[in-house]
């Protein structure tokens, strides 16, 4: 039987399983996000386009299963009316943009709508997917520890030649050129991901998640050595990608994390001391075990110019492109990387009339116009402020740590790429759902504590015992 047919049959079976076991399937989707590129590159390269949609097929089953059980769920969705309203208005605008006459065909608009909104339902699904703190913590910890085998593969790629089977991309129909560190022979690694972009998005999300878990444990070393190892492999992976963005983001976020996740918590002095010791040990281990990665990254970072332009471009691009975009833009999906494939009868991106934009803020403006742009970035900014408010309001350290992680990720995503990078896109809405899940669990924890502290109800008076019979 043809390989593609087998993959399609497996996908149908996986969707049915996800429909029946949607809570477990949510976790499987997040794991598949990490392994998808490896499957496409090495296991089924002949059907890599089908594997690309595997996590989306699972999510269709998850969404359907959630809707089936929603009436029976004993879970109250956390209140966030502004967020839900903004998402609804944004989705309605996205539907209208599917029919934008500037698009080459309807299929481009449909796939564009998927890029913006397909993962948004995780905001509703994730708060109902975990019954308690223990189940959530075990999943997050195991998920964070995936960084160890993923990082180990990245190390093997770094020290392998570019012609090695380990160093390949999941890109059909393109040349096999593998990116290296300039004149150096070392390869810019991708680990289990299809390309460097996906791996860097994973590294940022994983670093933030590990910071949250270590913060929840007050950075204690006992029982957390594997998490420290995962953090080391994550930072090492950032260096071996050769991309400056994840390193810069992590450096900028650390002071915010230090304030929200360490200083504001109880026993902050001891926690901060352990954090400093851990960071010093991490730097020493990286410097002694893999100086080649540090040297390669330093050489590439020093050789790339126009840093100020790269920083200012996301801020200036929407304003500069506003006259070109007009009121309605060119249609949702007009600049998406799949648009040329979905419109084979048209010269690629001819519908943009020579208007080519790289940064995401500019692309959103070009596609949706000023109204759609404001709706999309209102949600991003609002989620950042909303998560910060939860950091200050939640009662339990574990829940505050998760809210802090969400806040850090949302901050990094405001100027960054979310819509046009499926890895970042899924992580963004995963953290949004994780934030609402932390709110739900915190609320339930407060209620249980209140019930446990309440005085017991007065017992009903027992009837007086009958007198014993008198012996005659």
- SS3 of residue 118 by DSSP: coil
User: What is the per-residue pLDDT across 393-402, written as a single tens digit (0 to 9) for each?
Assistant: 999 999 999 9
* pLDDT given for residue 472 in this prediction: 36
* pLDDT given for residue 308 in this prediction: 67
Q: How confident is the model at residue 35 (pLDDT cuts 50, 70, 90)?
A: very high
Burial (CB count <10 Å: 0-12, 13-18, 19+), residue 452: exposed
Instruction: Please check whether residue 387 is in contact with residue 413, taking contact to mean a CB–CB distance below 8 angstroms.
Output: no
Q: DSSP label at 183?
A: T
- Give the residue-averaged pLDDT of 27-52: 91
Q: What are phi and psi of 180, to 5 degrees?
A: -125, 175
- Give the residue-averaged pLDDT of 348-376: 92
User: What is the per-residue pLDDT across 229-260, written as a single tens digit (0 to 9) for each?
Assistant: 999 999 999 999 989 899 999 999 999 999 99
CA separation (Å) from 10 to 31, 119, 459?
17, 22, 59
For every residue of 299-322, DSSP letters joined together read HHHHH---HHHHHHHHHHHHHHHH
Instruction: Please check whether residue 430 is in contact with residue 169, taking contact to mean a CB–CB distance below 8 angstroms.
Output: no
169 or 136: which leads in pLDDT: 136
CB count, 10 Å around CB of 110? 14
Q: How confident is the model at residue 171 (pLDDT cuts 50, 70, 90)?
A: low
- SS3 of residue 152 by DSSP: helix
* pLDDT given for residue 44 in this prediction: 87
User: What is the per-residue pLDDT across 99-131, written as a single tens digit (0 to 9) for each?
Assistant: 999 999 999 999 999 999 999 999 999 999 999
Instruction: Please check whether residue 409 is in contact with residue 205, taking contact to mean a CB–CB distance below 8 angstroms.
Output: yes
User: What is the per-residue pLDDT across 267-299, written as a single tens digit (0 to 9) for each?
Assistant: 888 999 999 999 999 999 999 988 999 988 888
Q: Quick one: how far is CA 412 from the chain centroid?
A: 11
Q: How confident is the model at residue 227 (pLDDT cuts 50, 70, 90)?
A: very high
- Give the residue-averaged pLDDT of 448-469: 59
Q: Quick one: how far is CA 165 from the chain centroid?
A: 28
Instruction: Please check whether residue 226 is in contact with residue 178, taking contact to mean a CB–CB distance below 8 angstroms.
Output: no
Closest of 92, 89, 107 to residue 334, by C-alpha: 107
- 179-183, 430-434, 437-441, range with the lowest pLDDT: 179-183
Give the DSSP H/E element, type plus range, for residue 246.
Answer: helix 244-257
Q: What b/e sequence results for 383-403 when a residue is b if at least 16 CB atoms lie within 10 Å of its CB, and e otherwise?
A: bbebbbebbeebebebbbbbb
Decide if pLDDT at 449 tops 90.
Answer: no
Provide the mean pLDDT of the chain.
90
For every residue of 320-363, DSSP letters joined together read HHHHHHTTTTT-TTTT-TTHHHH-TTS-TTGGGTT----SHHHH
Decide if pLDDT at 415 tops 50.
Answer: yes
Instruction: Please check whether residue 398 is in contact with residue 342, taking contact to mean a CB–CB distance below 8 angstroms.
Output: no
- 5-9, 309-313, 335-339, range with the lowest pLDDT: 309-313
468 conformational bin, left if phi > 0, alpha if psi -120 to 50, beta if neither: beta
* pLDDT given for residue 385 in this prediction: 96
- SS3 of residue 290 by DSSP: coil
Closest of 224, 216, 239 to residue 401, by C-alpha: 216
- 64-78, 182-196, 293-307, 323-337, range with the lowest pLDDT: 293-307
Q: Which long-range contacts (CB under 8 A, 24 or more apart) does 226-231 make?
A: 226/145, 226/148, 227/141, 227/144, 227/145, 228/278, 228/281, 228/282, 229/148, 230/144, 230/145, 230/146, 230/147, 230/148, 230/151, 230/206, 231/147, 231/207, 231/282
Closest of 92, 161, 95, 197 to residue 416, by C-alpha: 197
Indicate the pTM of the whole model. 0.92
Instruction: Please check whether residue 359 is in contact with residue 313, taking contact to mean a CB–CB distance below 8 angstroms.
Output: yes
Closest of 100, 93, 99, 110 to residue 330, by C-alpha: 100
Decide if pLDDT at 139 tops 80.
Answer: yes
- SS3 of residue 299 by DSSP: helix
* pLDDT given for residue 470 in this prediction: 44
Decide if pLDDT at 12 tops 70.
Answer: yes
Closest of 341, 60, 33 to residue 191, by C-alpha: 33
Q: How confident is the model at residue 75 (pLDDT cuts 50, 70, 90)?
A: confident
Which position has the token pair 């983001």?
A: 249
Instruction: Please check whether residue 406 is in contact with residue 394, taking contact to mean a CB–CB distance below 8 angstroms.
Output: no
Instruction: Please check whether residue 342 is in contact with residue 105, taking contact to mean a CB–CB distance below 8 angstroms.
Output: yes
- Give the residue-averaged pLDDT of 403-417: 94
Decide if pLDDT at 50 tops 90.
Answer: no
User: What is the per-residue pLDDT across 144-166, written as a single tens digit (0 to 9) for each?
Assistant: 999 999 999 999 999 999 888 99
Closest of 325, 343, 312 to residue 106, by C-alpha: 343
Helix axes 225-241, 147-158, angle to 10 degrees: 40
User: What is the per-residue pLDDT across 308-335, written as a single tens digit (0 to 9) for each?
Assistant: 667 788 888 999 999 999 999 999 999 9
76 or 359: which leads in pLDDT: 359
Share of the chain above pLDDT 90, in %: 68
Which position has the token pair 């975009």?
A: 325
* pLDDT given for residue 466 in this prediction: 45
Q: What would the two tokens of residue 320 be?
A: 């500069």
Q: What are phi and psi of 342, to 5 degrees?
A: -80, -10
């Amino acid at each position: 039987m043809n390989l593609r047919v087998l993959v399609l049959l497996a996908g149908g079976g996986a969707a049915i399983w996800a429909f029946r076991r949607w809570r477990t399937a949510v976790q499987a989707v997040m794991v598949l996000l990490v392994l998808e590129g490896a499957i496409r590159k090495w296991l089924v390269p002949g059907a890599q386009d089908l594997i690309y949609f595997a996590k989306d097929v699972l999510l269709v089953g998850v969404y359907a299963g959630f809707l089936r059980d929603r009436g029976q769920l004993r879970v109250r969705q956390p209140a966030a009316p502004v967020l839900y309203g903004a998402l609804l208005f944004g989705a309605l605008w996205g539907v209208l943009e599917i029919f934008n006459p500037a698009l080459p065909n309807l299929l481009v608009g449909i796939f564009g709508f998927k890029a913006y909104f397909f993962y948004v339902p995780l905001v509703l699904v994730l708060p109902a997917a975990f019954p308690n703190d223990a189940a959530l913590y075990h999943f997050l910890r195991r998920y964070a520890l995936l960084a160890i085998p993923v990082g180990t593969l990245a190390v093997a790629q770094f020290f392998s030649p570019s012609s090695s089977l380990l160093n390949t991309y999941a890109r059909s129909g393109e040349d096999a050129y593998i990116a290296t560190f300039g004149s150096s022979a070392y390869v810019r690694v991708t680990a289990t991901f299809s390309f460097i972009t996906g791996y860097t998005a994973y590294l940022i999300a994983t670093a933030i998640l590990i910071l949250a878990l270590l913060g929840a444990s007050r950075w204690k070393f006992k029982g957390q050595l594997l998490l420290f190892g995962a953090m080391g492999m994550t930072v090492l992976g950032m260096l071996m990608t050769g991309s400056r963005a994840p390193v810069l983001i992590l450096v900028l976020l650390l002071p915010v994390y230090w304030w929200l996740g360490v200083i504001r918590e109880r026993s902050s002095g001891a926690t901060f001391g352990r954090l400093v010791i851990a960071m010093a040990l991490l730097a020493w281990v990286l410097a002694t075990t893999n100086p080649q990665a540090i040297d390669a990254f330093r050489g590439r970072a020093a050789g790339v110019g126009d840093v100020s332009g790269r920083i200012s471009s996301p801020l200036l691009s929407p304003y500069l492109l506003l006259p070109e975009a007009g009121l309605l833009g060119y249609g949702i999906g007009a600049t998406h990387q799949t648009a040329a494939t979905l419109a084979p009868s048209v010269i690629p991106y001819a519908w943009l009339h020579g208007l080519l934009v790289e940064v995401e803020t500019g692309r959103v403006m070009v596609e949706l116009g000023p109204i759609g742009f404001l709706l999309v970035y209102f949600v991003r900014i609002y989620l950042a402020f909303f998560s910060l408010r939860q950091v200050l309001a939640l009662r339990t350290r574990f829940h505050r740590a998760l809210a802090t992680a969400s806040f850090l990720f949302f901050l990094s995503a405001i100027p960054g790429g979310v819509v046009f990078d499926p890895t970042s896109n899924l992580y963004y809405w995963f953290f949004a759902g994780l934030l609402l899940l932390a709110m739900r669990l915190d609320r339930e924890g407060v209620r249980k504590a209140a019930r446990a502290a309440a005085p017991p109800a007065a017992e009903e008076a027992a009837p007086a015992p009958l007198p014993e019979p008198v012996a005659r």
